[in-house]
């Protein structure tokens, strides 16, 4: 199959200062999905940076995980007991990036905080702290190991590629967040939910602007074909790989293939682990 013309611009990965050490996981996920390394750029808050011009020239935008969003962005005061840790300059950067992406219809892929930022950008609200405001039996915050499979996802809308990919097999995901979607933003459609009903996968109902996001961290799970396919769908949308439809997994290096076997074997055990970590 003939590949389309190479897309213009770079794929931007938005991170915060303390999260820059986690950027390699996102870079690796994009590379395994077919995006050339020289077309990937990690950006972080920088005084005087023209983020609008940056994203207008980009091929795509990845909103990575990281700090909490400032509750003021969705009209709330910070709850003293919520342990909210914000980075206002990152909030401002990503709001500007999203405004530019909307203007130019640049595809956006959000991960964890990225899902929450998209929800707030479209007028939604967040639970500031799930354990405080919406306590359930589902473990949402387990930081280590990063690839521990914690809970399942119930697919509620298989009509788009995101839902179709997730419904192929019962998805098990990692989880390290203490905030989540409360009121869904305008135009966003839930695709998947955690066992306690929390929205964990969304897309934008707009044929002209490709926007998808998940609450977990698929960049740490690329050894699993189902999770890797989420990144491949993004790369396919950008035009870096042929649009040959689902069901064509890429061949991974032997070291990652062996990790995939370990993931699958460890899944049921990891579900029984407890203890939140910050």
- 241 burial (CB, 10 Å; 0-12 / 13-18 / 19+) is buried
CA distances from 89 to 26, 56, 122, 123, 244 (A): 21, 20, 19, 19, 40
- 217 as an active site residue: the answer is yes
Beta-ladder partners of 126: 181
From 86, 109, 88, 87, select the one nearest 98 (Cα to Cα): 109
Catalytic residue, chosen from 19, 94, 219, 232, is 219
Crossing angle of helices 225-238 and 23-33, rounded to 10°: 80
121, 243 in Cβ contact below 8 A? no
Q: Please give the Cα distance from 197 to 191 (Å, whole number).
A: 12
Catalytic residue, chosen from 112, 151, 178, 263, is 112
Catalytic residue, chosen from 151, 177, 178, 217, is 217
Side-by-side strand order, sheet with 108-111: 40-43, 11-14, 60-63, 108-111, 211-214, 199-204, 188-193, 154-155
Tokens representing residue 27 in the block: 């870079």
Crossing angle of helices 88-104 and 113-121, rounded to 10°: 60
- 112 as an active site residue: the answer is yes
- 151 as an active site residue: the answer is no
Which residues form the catalytic set?
A: 112, 217, 219
């Amino acid at each position: 199959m003939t590949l389309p013309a190479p897309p213009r611009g770079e794929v931007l990965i938005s991170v915060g200062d303390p999260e820059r050490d986690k950027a390699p996981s996102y870079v690796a996920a994009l590379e395994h999905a077919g995006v050339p390394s020289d077309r990937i750029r990690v950006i972080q808050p920088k005084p005087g940076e023209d983020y609008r011009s940056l994203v207008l020239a980009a091929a795509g935008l990845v909103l990575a995980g990281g700090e909490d969003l400032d509750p003021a962005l969705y009209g709330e005061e910070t709850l003293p007991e919520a342990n909210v840790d914000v980075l206002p300059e990152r909030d401002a950067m990503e709001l500007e990036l999203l405004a530019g992406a909307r203007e130019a219809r640049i595809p956006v892929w959000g991960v964890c905080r990225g899902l929450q930022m998209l929800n707030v950008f479209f007028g939604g609200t967040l639970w500031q702290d799930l354990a405080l405001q919406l306590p359930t039996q589902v473990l949402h915050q387990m930081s280590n190991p990063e690839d521990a499979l914690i809970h399942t996802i119930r697919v509620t809308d298989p009509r788009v590629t995101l839902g179709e990919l997730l419904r192929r097999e019962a998805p098990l995901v990692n989880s390290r967040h203490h905030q989540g979607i409360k009121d869904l933003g305008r135009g966003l459609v839930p695709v998947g939910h955690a066992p306690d009903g929390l929205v964990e996968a969304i897309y934008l109902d707009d044929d002209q602007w490709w926007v998808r996001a998940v609450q977990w961290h698929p960049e740490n799970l690329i050894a699993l074909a189902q999770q890797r396919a989420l990144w491949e769908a993004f790369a396919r949308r950008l035009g870096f790989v042929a649009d040959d439809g689902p069901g064509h997994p890429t061949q991974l290096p032997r070291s990652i293939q062996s990790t995939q076997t370990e993931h699958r074997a460890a899944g049921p055990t990891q579900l029984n682990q407890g203890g939140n970590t910050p």
